[in-house]
Every structure is written in structure tokens, then in C-alpha cells.
Amino acid sequence: MSHKRIPKRKAAIAAGSVAALGAAALLLPNANASQDGAEDTTAAPKTLKAGDASDLAGQLAGLLGDAFAGSYYDEDSQQLVINVVGDNNQLVVQAKKAGAAVRQVDNSTAELQSATQTLKSEATIPGTAWAVDPRTNKILVTADSTVTGEKWDTLESTVQSLGSGMATIQKSAGTFKTFASGGDAIFGGGSRCSLGFNVTAGDGSPAFLTAGHCGVAVDQWSDSQDGAPIATVDQAVFPGEGDFALVKYDDPATEAPSDVNVGGGQTVQILQAAEATVGQEVFRMGSTTGLADGTVTGLDATVNYPEGTVTGLIQTNVCAEPGDSGGSMFTQDGLALGLTSGGSGDCTVGGETFFQPVTTALEAVGATLGAGDAAGGGEAGGEEAGGGEVGGEEAGGEEAGAGEEAGVGDQSGAGVEDGSGLTETP
């Protein structure tokens, strides 16, 4: 496939595509001051978009210090909920005045972090994962179907040793594995993965982000099955402190635009990278299953894949399947959040899916989301991107992928996993 100049008509589609995904309106925040000018200790929580709630949570974490015990976004009320430990009423008043809903909880951040370290040292078992759930103020530990017998006994006893009210265990019917493939299909060495977001590398060259387990498996990637390579892996991390790779286009004139094709002629323009928030509604694009949506359920998750342990991931209830790895997770208003890593289940029965935070990956590889339509300055997805049909009807078909101009060509369906679950082979 040739890499031609991209027409500007796609730029006009972005606004319509956001509406198609049901973008929420940003409402004005409530006033916090009382009529007589005195401090209002019962200030009503502000109505916020999820991205604004994430920013406010970061500010309040610094303000509250050790009293801060996590936060989450209440999608129904569109409010930020802050967990606070201790009885410092002044801090509570400040958090309320800033616009957050505040609730008192028992477990501090330090206690929860100490408990996760215990899990790491005593229960790092393939097929397990854990993350702090701020909605319950506990650690949610998940075990897949391979965790049985002595493994289950070890996990259960370790959780019990943390003390009452510190952690809970849930079973997953599937098996934790990486999902080789993603939003826009890319091919290499008989494997298929997905392009996540187009970026500009530190040296100014056009590149894209994908899953690290794709980058360590194959060095060169094509935009079509059995096609000539168009991009080469520059950096890759997996397993360890993340699951991400920077892949540079071989042609420095390649245009790497800032959108994700969600099918049906619709694209969502990516405006910037952002931190995810628990409770936030998100969308995922993958070359196998197309577009799927769900909610962020945990941050800084640890996942014990068969290939090794990966830390610092985003946990969600968005479905995914083999062939979706590396694909983009984003919001309806154009925030790039994550790269599909792996999980359990499928898009029939559901399950857990984990994502590499985009902000962490960008910082690690020294790249930035693009600077417009100039060559080498684009972002996610590709303006000529061909994504799966909304809801996944055409996922894995000819139009599923990161986008023509972003290194994505025809698709060949879900493929077949190899024994490791790391890659898919046609």
C-alpha cells in the first residue's frame, strides 16, 4: 500500500463521530461560596467530565497527602468521589470546596500498597491479577481458571493474611493471556497485532505505539498480511514495568494522523493523552472485535501472565479477544488512555481486560502524540484508518485496522493463537 497525502475531509468527521459515540456535555460547576461570603462546609460536588475529574483527583491527592485514599468517577452523577482516612475536618472541607464528593474510609493508601507488596512476594502466581478498587476501598484479587489446587490455596491464604476488610477474591472463567492484535491490524512474522496510536518519536520521525509483547515478538511490521515491512520496532517493554512498544515507520514521509477509525465511516479525533479514572466510561478498538465499551475498574494493576508479571496497568471490564492487543483505548471526547495488553474472557461472556497507560508509554519512549496533520506529527489511528464496524460487526474484515495511512491494510480475521497466547498466526 502506498502512503499518499491524506485528504482533509476526515477532519470534519471528528465532531460527528464524537456525537455518534454519545459524547456527554460539560456542565457548569456548582457554586461553592455561601451568600454571606463565609466558608461553605457543605459545598455541593461539582458536575465534571471524567477527564476533568482525573485532573481534580491529582490535585486533591497532593492536597490531602496521607489522608488521601484513592478516588473514582461516579458516571451517573458525573462527580468525583474522594476517599479520606482520618478525622482532619479541615482537609475534608477543602476537598469539598474544590468540588469533590468526600467519604470516610478505613484503609489508607499506604496500607493498601503494603498489602499489594505482600501479594507480590507471596502470591505471584500465573493467572492472577490485583488492583486497588477505590469504590470498595479494598484490593480486588482476580484468579483465572488455571488457578486451582495448591495455587488457589496459596492465594486464598495470602489474602486472608492481609486481614479482614483489606482484599477480596473473584474467579474469572477465562485465562489471562495477551491479546496479540488491536485497533488497526499490523502483521509480522506470521503474527498479527494492532496499531494503538500514532505518535511522533523523540527524533521527530513518525511512529506508532502498540503492545510490548508484540514488539518483543516481531521486529518488523507490515500493513497487510505477507506484505512488505513498513515499520521497525525501536523500543519494547514486556514483561516488567509495562507492555508497550514504539515502532517507527520506515518511510520518514509517512503521515501519522490523530484519529481512531471506529467503523461505518466514523472517526474519533485524538486530542491528547490522559490518565484514566476508576469509573470512567471508555472505548476500545480492536482488529478482531472492532469497537467495544466499558468502564475502568482499577489502576496500577499487576497481572501475572504466563510470560511474566506486568505492573502499572489499567484494569477494565471492556471485552477483548486474541487479535486485539496493542489497540487503542480512548474516550468519546478524544482522550488517548491505553493500549490493549491482555486479559481473560471474550466478547460473548465478557471478562477483564488490562491496558498499558498511554501517558507512561509516551514518557518511557520519549514520544508525543502528534502535532497536527504534518508528516510525522500525527496521533492515533490514521486518517485513512479502517476500523471494525461499531459493535464489532465488521471487525477482522478488510476495513478493520489502524488505518491505511497508519500502516494498516486488509484484515484476515481473528487468526489462531499459538500455545503461549502471545501472538496469533494465520
Cis peptide before 206 (omega within 30 of 0): no
In a domain, 154, yes or no: yes
Catalytic residue among 325, 328, 344, 412: 325
Number of domains the chain contains: 1
Active site residue 234: no
| Distance separating alpha carbons of residues 118 and 97, to the nearest angstrom | 37
Confidence at residue 402, expressed as pLDDT on a 0 to 100 scale: 33
Residue of 133, 223, 243, 259 with catalytic role: 243
Q: Output the pLDDT for position 42.
A: 66
262 part of a folded domain: no
Domain contains 258: no
Most confident stretch, 282-286, 320-324, 348-352: 282-286
Where on the phi/psi map is residue 395: left (φ > 0), alpha (ψ -120 to 50), or beta?
beta
Report the CATH number at residue 161: 3.30.300.50
Cell 466510561 belongs to which residue?
Answer: 281
**The domain containing residue 113 runs over which residues?**
109-171
Using DSSP's 3-state secondary structure scheme, residue 193 falls into strand
Please tell me the distance from the alpha carbon of residue 251 to that of residue 255, in angstroms, as a whole number.
Answer: 9
Secondary structure of residue 309 in the 3-state scheme: strand
Please compute the mean of the pLDDT values over residues 350-376 and round it to a whole number. Answer: 81
Q: Pick the most confident of 9-23, 241-255, 374-388.
A: 241-255
Q: What is the mean predicted confidence (pLDDT) over 317-339?
A: 93
Q: For strand 272-273 and strand 266-269, is the pairing parallel, antiparallel, or unpaired?
A: unpaired
* Element of type H or E holding 357: strand 353-357
Is residue 3 part of the annotated active site? The answer reads: no
Half-sphere exposure of 2 toward its Cβ, with a 13 Å CA cutoff?
Answer: 3
Name the active-site residue from 52, 213, 222, 412: 213
Distance of CA 114 to CAs 107, 163, 270, Å?
11, 12, 37
Nine cell digits for residue 77: 452523577
Active site residue 325: yes
Reduced to 3 states (helix: H, G, I; strand: E, B; else coil), residue 5 is: coil
Please report whether residue 325 resides in a domain. Answer: no
**Segment 173-200 mean pLDDT:** 77
Inside any domain, residue 341: no
pTM: 0.75
- Determine the average pLDDT of the residues in 191-198: 89
Residue 177 lies in a domain: no
What is the overall mean pLDDT for the chain? 79
More confident position, 19 or 120: 120
User: Which range is least confidently modeled, 85-99, 174-188, 192-206, 212-226?
Assistant: 174-188
Among 105-109, 293-297, 398-402, the least confident range: 398-402
Distance between CA atoms of residues 200 and 132, nearest Å: 33
Structural domain includes residue 113: yes
Residue 311 pLDDT greater than 90, yes or no: yes
Residue 131 lies in a domain: yes
pLDDT at 324: 87
